[in-house]
Amino acid sequence: MMIRICLADDHAIVLEGLRALVDGEPDMTVVGATTDGDAVEALVRREAPDVLVLDYELGGRRAPEVIQALRQGEQVPRILILTAYHDGETIRSALESGAEGLALKTASPQQTLSAIRQVMAGQLVFPQAARRWLEARQASRSDEVTAREREVWGLIAEGLTNVQIAERLALSENTVKFHVQHLFQKLGVKNRTEAALRHATSGRVPRGPTTG
């Protein structure tokens, strides 16, 4: 089976090189490529690739932001982030963004090819050193949004503040804060606006056991 790949990198020379290399592999084909961070979603929608190789910094947009936008869509490809930086913050944010793997531009492009095959095979490809965060991600993935969190989420989407939510649900403000914090972690969002936006498409995120 051919792995269908889209490439997104704002360095045209990198795209050109990687495209030639990938197309030279018997089991891979590049179905689309872009240097424009704002064009990634449209490209993925159009081509529905198996794997998206995504530069960590794509013009003004960073990979986590692009991934979050992609997750609003119907079809989310497996995502391999390509970066020159292997510092803790980059590794961690790549992991937390929900990407399947990380490949380095300061290593052989051959390793990028291997990583594409690994994420295609369902593996998570991150440095061993990131295990502490990997475990946390796996734990939080198995955590579903609880009924209470879903309730809080709905009120956030209505534009209520924590104080107002506390009043409405007869909870203390601290308890609400606690639920909001966990909800954001589970949804992978940074703020209320993102949580509210996500609420509009909440059919695609894990539901609590007692919702309906």
Partner 1 sequence: MTTAEESPGTASLRLLATGERELQRIVLDMHDGPVQDLFAAMSHLQLLERELAAQPEAQRRTQQSIHLLERALGEIRTLIGVFRPPGFERRDLGAILEGLVVQHEALTDQSVELTLDPALGDCPLPTKIALYRILQEALANSHRHAAATRQTVTVERTGAQFALTVSDDGRGFESRRVLAAEADVGVEGGHFGLRGIQDRVGMLGGTFTIESAPGRGTTLRVTLPAA
Residues of this chain that bind partner 1 (CB under 8 A): 11, 13-14, 16-18, 20-21, 24, 84-89, 91-92, 104-110, 127-130, 132-133
| Nearest CB to partner 1, comparing residues 90 and 160 | 90
| Nearest CB to partner 1, comparing residues 91 and 189 | 91
Nearest to 91 by CA among 112, 64, 122, 52: 64
Half-sphere exposure of 71 (CA within 13 A, CB side): 23
**In the complex, least distance from residue 76 CB atom to partner 1, rounded to whole angstroms:** 26
**In the complex, least distance from residue 84 CB atom to partner 1, rounded to whole angstroms:** 5
Other Cβ atoms closer than 10 A to 118: 17
**In the complex, least distance from residue 193 CB atom to partner 1, rounded to whole angstroms:** 20
Q: Tokens at residue 169, please? A: 């649900």
| Nearest CB to partner 1, comparing residues 92 and 207 | 92
**In the complex, least distance from residue 190 CB atom to partner 1, rounded to whole angstroms:** 14
| Nearest CB to partner 1, comparing residues 128 and 142 | 128
**Cα distances (angstroms) measured from residue 139 to each of 19, 89, 180:** 36, 20, 18
Q: In whole angstroms, what is the distance from residue 17 CA to residue 210 CA?
A: 51
Q: In what order do the strands lie in the sheet with 101-104?
A: 28-34, 3-8, 51-55, 78-83, 101-104
